[in-house]
Each structure stands twice: as structure tokens, then as C-alpha cells.
Structure 1
Amino acid sequence: MSEAPATQLHTSRAGFGPAPELTALRDGEGVRRVTMPFGADVWMVTRYADVREVLSDHGRFAMAVESDFLMPVAQPSEEKKAQMRAGNLLAFDPPEHTRLRRMLTPEFTARRISRLEPRVGALVEEHLDAMERAGAPADLVPSFAMPIPSLVICELLGVPYADRSGFGDRARRILDLRLSLEERAAARVESRLYMIDLVTRIKADPGDELLGMLLREHGDDLTVNEMAGIGNLLLLAGHETTANMLALGTLALLRNPDQLELLREQPELIEPAIEELLRWLSIVHSGTMKITRTEVVIAGQVIPPGEFVMCVLPAANRDPALMSDPERLDITRGTPGHVAFGHGVHHCLGAPLARMEMRIAFPALLRRFPGLRTVGAEAHFRDSSVVYGVTSLDVTW
């Protein structure tokens, strides 16, 4: 089989959906070996059933260590690799993954998350008040979509709000695919050093924040490096993903006025609407990188052991095998089984928190501004990042 040229094929988009090349790959051969810009050869898996198989079978598809495929030239030492992996649930398979996740799961149950709802509601109203006072037009990204998840995850973890701009800048550099590998690696190191300092400060006086809880209940079982890794992952994932869902989801509803009107008329549809937006937008381009432990067959293609495998989530979530008419946004269907949050043991731990934030934020925005609409130039999609979204969204009401 011939190899595709170096490309960022897995991040290719056409507006809200995957690029035609990805759709053609899914509907054709299903899996293809691609040479990535950073030099590694990766098998891209695009069909829904195959993606679920890869993500659920850690016996045949092991979690790949990021440095193994991102740093083909200047490899860090084994000690540095271990430090950077420590505490990162996305860097381990069971049993180590199970050990770490078991400590965190109680804080992300629906019951625990419900305790945050009043605070999230207050933050949403505060930002809507500020938008209304400032008047139209407004850029929804910095005024609403970005700050709310940022504040929520700051308060959950115990990150001082004054530090928000710093971690926001580091997060953007970590996720920005336009930057060199060295620049992104440097941002990761900066982020970990910050989190080590924060953990050290909280350790001296643990409070009710999540990191304080972990220190009180599991302090003897977790190293400072592991605590920092846990905090870093939650900070990055809890901020960027939900923020981009709020902005891009709003734009999707505005571009589909029949669905927007339906949600206004039937606000009880908010939960299925969120699931459909998660599927239809699939803002995380790919699942965690895997490496084959043994010879496997995907979509009829034999893949040897030791090969990198990447699951393309936007293509899988619009697979006709998942549902009929997958290209259409339909907020009434709820999309059971989508893989926007991944699948298997690495299914997103923070999914209940993200769902709760969207369940509060979307209806509040639509209630406050019944005439909400876009203004000015076309939206600029954020297609050069690990997390898809829009860089700005000018609206009026």
C-alpha cells in the first residue's frame, strides 16, 4: 500500500465536519498509513466500529508514550520521560491507569458534580450580565465561552484565578500544531513546573479543592510528580474542550436556525442537544495515540506489532453505520454511543462536568439574548489546534 504524503490529515475540516478526504477514507478503505509532519508513520482509523474496537482493547492496542512519536530526534532521557508521564491518566493502561483513575472517579460522579451547579450558574449569569452591560456586538469567545470553563476548573482544582492567563497561554501553546515540537514541549515543561509549585503550596494547607482532597485522602499513595500530572491533565482538558464546545456549539445552532428554534421552544431537549452537538462537532480530532502490541487486522488491513494507530473521531462520529443521515444536525436524537469523549477505559473522566457546564450555559445564553445572531466576517475556525473551535465569534442581539 502506498503511503500518503506528510500531512495533518486527521485535523482536516470542512466547516463543522471532517474534510472530504477523511470522509472518503472512512467510506473507502477505512484505514490508511500516513506519514505525519513530525516524522512518525501512523495508521489512521476512521470507521465507527473500528474506532470503538481500538479504543476499548488495551490488550492489543497499548497507550503510546507521547515522546516516542513526537520526539523522533531529540529524545528526552528515560528519567525525564517518567517525570513527564507521572500522573497523566492518558499515558497509562491498566493497572497503573486503574490505580490513578480510582482515586479521581469519586470527584466526577453525577452527585459530586451537582454540587458545582449553583456556582456554575452564578458564573454564567455574571458573564451574561457583563456582556449585556458592555452592549453589542461582543466576541463570544473571550466574553463567555473561554472564561466560564476556565473559572470552573480553577475553582475545582484550587488554581488561583490570577494565574488563569498564564495557564491559558501555556495550554494554547501545548495544543497549537503550528508550533515546533520543541516549543510545545517547552510549554509542557512550564506547565508541569507551575503545577508542582501549586501542589507544594496546597500540600502545606490543603482545603476543599480537588488537589487538597487528593492530598488528604491519597497523599501517601501519590508523589508530587503524580499530583502535578493529574492537575495538569485536568486543567488542560477541563478548560480547552468545554470552552471550544460552547463557542462552536453556539455557532452550530446559529447556522442551523431550525434546530435553534426547536431548542428555544422545547428547552427540555437540552440534554439530547448537547449529545448531538458533541457528536456532530467532535472538537477533539483524535483519540489517544495507540501502539499495537501484536499483529492486528483493522478494516481488512494487517498491521504489524509496534505500529502507531490513531482514531479519527470526527469521521467515526459521522459514520453512516452509527446512524442514518449523520451529516444532519438533529438535536432530538441524542446520539447514543458517540465517541466524542473517547471510549473504553480512557473515556473522558471529566465528561459529567463538561455536560453540566453546557447544560447550564447554552440555555442561559439563549434566554438572555433571544435575538442572538452572528455579525461581521465569517467565523475563523481554529483548525491548527489539537482541539477544534473558533478563534472568535462576533455576535449581536
Structure 2
Amino acid sequence: MSELLDDTFFADPHEYYRRWRAQGPVHRIDLGDGLDRWLILGYEEGRAALADPRLRKDIALFDTVLARKRGVTRANPRPQEVLRHMLNSDPPDHTRLRKAVSRAFTARQVARLQPIIERTTDELLDAMGEFERVDLLEAFAVPLPVTVICHLLGVAIEDHDTFRAWTRAMVGTADSATDRARAHDDMVRFLRDTVRDKRARPGADLLSVLVADTEAQLDEQELVGMALLLLVAGHETTVNLIGNGMLALLRDRPWLERLSADPELIPAAVEEFLRFDGPVDLATPRFTVQPITVGDTVIPAGEVVYVALAAGNHDPAHYPDPDRLDLTADRGSHLAFGHGVHYCVGAPLARLEARTAFAGLLRRFPDIELAAAESALRRYPNPIIRGLTDLPVRLRKSESIRNPVGSEDR
């Protein structure tokens, strides 16, 4: 029998994972629509599943699987632009799409973005320094990666608040399915116009390069889907890496003080933040084209399967004392960015942004502390994105009369 994922799961999935893990490395879940999915919990089992060719992601075939399970003709009748990208494809299409963008995310290419990352970080920290209390997500963790990914893609989004409203609605904070659909449609419309503009007036940005790539030959839907994937995933991962990592430090003051005193630990600390409370909980779904065996359980063909990256990263069979934060531990083999052919192409960029962000924050605000009760903090009601809706912090010990909107004590 499947178990429903509700608000208590999103608040603390590890309470569930510990209970489920005692029953075996695979569990059945319900995301609220009455359909059974299979959830893989173990580190070794999850790593194997992420690289298993019997688990597919092709969006057209996936729609057929979901339609059959729901007893309908088509599972997703909406336009498919948002879904036609490398995260929802298998080789050889996946190989073609990933090759088109992967050279922009090599360590050497990402290093060229360091000046804009550092400049944006400094500007945001300067602005934050005018206040006693801020929402760290709104003031820093969101605008930093949004600025960087828009620069990389050549997307001129003047109103970052609008862009953030679109993405937040799409990852699950909208009040209704209608609001989520409207946000999706608005963003797709914007990106379609942007792609057409790149065809007419190309620049040196990544989106212009993708438009002109004669080898990959991306059609307009693929270009729109790729742009949307890179924009949303390219900032959402870093937003939640910074937010979740800072919350871990604010909960564990000795580590915050040690990291402030020894910034050489920051690269290792970022890896531990990724393992301890990474920005993605469940990897995006796959479906079985043949039966697979996980532990003692056989998952039939034609079933939807999720790999719980967060559960694997807390598997006691792989990590000693996995629920303890340890910024000096060698735990670089985590699953936070996935594994196999769908390993996150933007991982080098997310790491560079996070290292720069934590170094700047702790240098400028070593006395930073939570400005709200921890019980008041809320998580996205989303099984894939693991992120806070806000993170109110006090930047210094002295009192101040300046307090921007959205950062009140609560």
C-alpha cells in the first residue's frame, strides 16, 4: 500500500525515510493523485537505478505510462515546450541535447563567470548591509544565481520579481493549478519570443549559440524547453543550496563560527551541505521498460520510479552517523547532483556560486542569526525541490530601525 506525501513529509522527509528504510530499500508512495509510485531509498540502490538503462525518461513514452495508469487517453494535454529538454529524454536525443550545452558548463568555462559572480555577490551584500534584518532568500540567495544564469543565457529579464514569481508558482507555491498553468504559459511565451529574437539578432550568449548550432539542430520547442530548464534549474538549485546550507549553519553555531574563522573549509563545507540537506529531494521521475529488482522487490515494467537522493545521502549503510552535520568529513560521493548520464550539467556553476556566496556572507556577517522561530520556517510543498519559502535572518547583533518588507520577526 502506498503512503501519501503531505506537509509533514516536506517539513522533515528523513523521519519518513528512517521508518521506510527499516522495511527495505524501496517503498510505494502517493503524491496526492491516488497513483502508486515506487521510491528507491538506499544509496547503492539509488546510484544503480540512476544509471540503469531500463529506467527511462522520454517524455512522450512517459505520458503513455501515466495515461494508462490514470485510464485516460493523454496524461498531459497541455503544450509540451516545458517538457522537451535533456532531463526528459533518453539517448540518442539526450546525447544530442546535452552535448549542445555541456561545453558551456565545463570547469574552465564556468571559471570565466567568476568575476560576475563575485561582483554580484559584493553588490548584494552591500545592499543587505543597510539593514538589520532581511529575508536571505529574497535579498541574496535568489538574485545571485538569477543574475548569473540570465547573463550566461543572454536573457534580459529586467523584473527579477516577475521571474521569481513564475518559478515559485511552477515549483509548487501557487494557490491553484490554474495559477501554475498561467505561470508556465507566461514563461514559455517570454522564452519563445526570446528564442526568436536570438535568431534575428544573435549575440555571444549560450542561447544564441544553441540557436545557431547546426550539429544539434534544436527545433523551437527544444530551444524553449532547454532555455526554461536551464533558467529554472540553473538558479533554483543554487538558491536552495545557499538557503539550506545557511539554515544548517544557523542551527549549528559552532560550525558557523569555525567556517567564518577558516574559509579554506568552504569547498568541503559546500559538499557537506549538498549531502546533508541538498536542493533536490527526489530525482525527477523515471519509468520502467523492463522489470527491475531492488533488494527483494521486483518493480514491474510500466511503473513510475523515483530515486530519493536525500534518502541515499542519509543512508547509514553508506555514511556513518549520516544525520550529523560534519563539514570536515570526506563525503564527496553524495548523490545531490544525481548520477549517470543525467548527472547535473550545471554542477560546476552551482558549486562556484555557493562557494562564493558562503565566503562573502560569513566574511561580511559573521554574527548572522535566525530572525524567526525555526518552527515558523516553511518548505516548498514539492517532492523534487527541497527549499525554504523564506529565511529571515538578523545580520548583526546591534539593533537597527531599518527593516525591509518581508523580514519581520515572526
Return the TM-score normalized by structure 2.
Answer: 0.88
Structure 1 CA distance for aligned equivalents of residues 341 and 288 of structure 2: 17
1:309-328 aligned within 5 A = 309-328=305-324
C-alpha offsets along residues 32-74 of structure 1, whole Å, 9 cap, x if unaligned?
22233123210111111111111111x2111163645777477
Match among 107, 111, 117 for residue 110 of structure 1: 107
Pair 1:260 & 2:286 matched? no
Relative distance call for 1:320 and 1:79 in structure 2 (3 A) is closer
**Aligned partner of residue 327 in structure 1, secondary structure:** coil
Deviation of 1:138 after TM superposition, in Å, equals: 1.8
2:54 aligns with 60
Mapped contact 1:10–1:285 kept (Cα < 8 A) = no
Instruction: Identify the range of structure 1 (70-79 vs 168-177) with the bigger mean alpha-carbon deviation.
Output: 70-79
Cα distance in 1, alignment partners of residues 203 and 166 from structure 2? 26
When structure 1 is superposed on structure 2, of 67-76 and 254-263 the one drifting more is: 67-76
> One-letter code of the match for 1:387?
I
Query: How many residue pairs were aligned?
Result: 389
- 8 Å CA contact 1:149–1:357 kept in 2: the answer is yes
> Does the Cα contact within 8 Å between 1:273 and 1:334 map onto a contact in 2?
no
AA aligned to 2:230 is L
Contact 1:178/1:384 (<8 A) preserved: no
Match of 1:269 in 2: 265
| 1:73-152 equivalences in 2 (<5 Å) | 83-86=81-84, 88-132=85-129, 134-152=130-148
SS of the equivalent of 2:190 reads: helix
- Comparing 238-247 and 42-51, the one that deviates more: 238-247
Contact 2:63 2:75 survives alignment (8 Å):
no
Match of 1:388 among 359, 371, 386: 386
Q: Distance in 2 between matches of 1:188 and 1:144?
A: 24
Off by >4 Å, runs of 4+ in structure 1: 8-11, 66-84, 177-183
CA RMSD after TM alignment? 2.4
Given the alignment, which residue of 211, 235, 240 partners 2:236? 240
Give distance in 1, aligned partners of 2:170 and 2:64: 17
Does the CA contact (< 8 Å) of 2:268 and 2:327 recur in 1? yes
The answer on whether the counterparts of 1:10 and 1:286 sit within 8 Å (CA) in structure 2 is no
Instruction: Output the CA distance in 2 between the equivalents of 1:10 and 1:369.
Output: 32
Q: Which secondary structure does the structure 2 equivalent of 1:162 belong to?
A: coil
Equivalent of 1:224, from 203, 220, 224?
Answer: 220
Report the equivalent of 1:26: 21
Distance 1:117 1:43 in 2: 40
Q: Distance in 1 between matches of 2:159 and 2:176?
A: 25
2:190 counterpart of 1:194: yes
Separation in 2, partners of 1:357, 1:93: 29
Report the CA distance shift for 1:374/1:77 in structure 2 as closer, same or farther (over 3 A): closer
Distance 1:77 1:303 in 2: 21
Q: Which amino acid aligns with 2:128?
A: M
- Stretch deviating more after TM superposition (312-321 or 180-189): 180-189
Q: C-alpha distance in 2, partners of 1:102/1:6?
A: 38
8 A contact 2:244–2:273 mirrored in 1: no
Structure 2: tracts of 5 or more residues without a match = 397-410
Look up the equivalent residue of 1:25 and give its one-letter code: W
Q: Indicate if the aligned counterparts of 2:2 and 2:36 stay in contact, CA closer than 8 A.
A: no
What is the one-letter code of the residue matched to 1:39?
A: G
**Counterparts of 1:177 and 1:166, CA distance in 2:** 14
Unaligned ranges ≥5, structure 1: none
Residue number in structure 1 paired with 2:364: 368
Q: Distance in 1 between matches of 2:123 and 2:334?
A: 33
Q: 1:173 aligns with which of 164, 169, 176?
A: 169
- The normalised TM-score by structure 1 is 0.91
1-structure distance, mates of 2:299, 2:128: 53
Q: Percent identity?
A: 38
User: Could you say which residue in structure 2 is the equivalent of 1:37?
Assistant: 32
Residue range with higher mean Cα deviation, 32-41 or 238-247: 32-41
In 2, are the aligned partners of 1:7 and 1:37 still within 8 Å (CA)? yes
Deviations 1:124-147 (A, max 9, x none): 000110111x22022211111111
**Deviation per residue, 1:152-180 (Å, 9 max, x gap):** 11111111131433332121111107755
Distance 2:25 2:341 in 1: 24
1:161–1:9 Cα change, 3 Å: closer
Aligned to 1:214: 210
Residues 1:11 and 1:102: Cα distance change in structure 2 (over 3 Å): farther
Q: CA deviation at 1:192?
A: 2.0
Relative to structure 1, the CA distance from residue 70 to residue 171 in structure 2 (aligned partners, 3 Å threshold; closer, same or farther) is farther
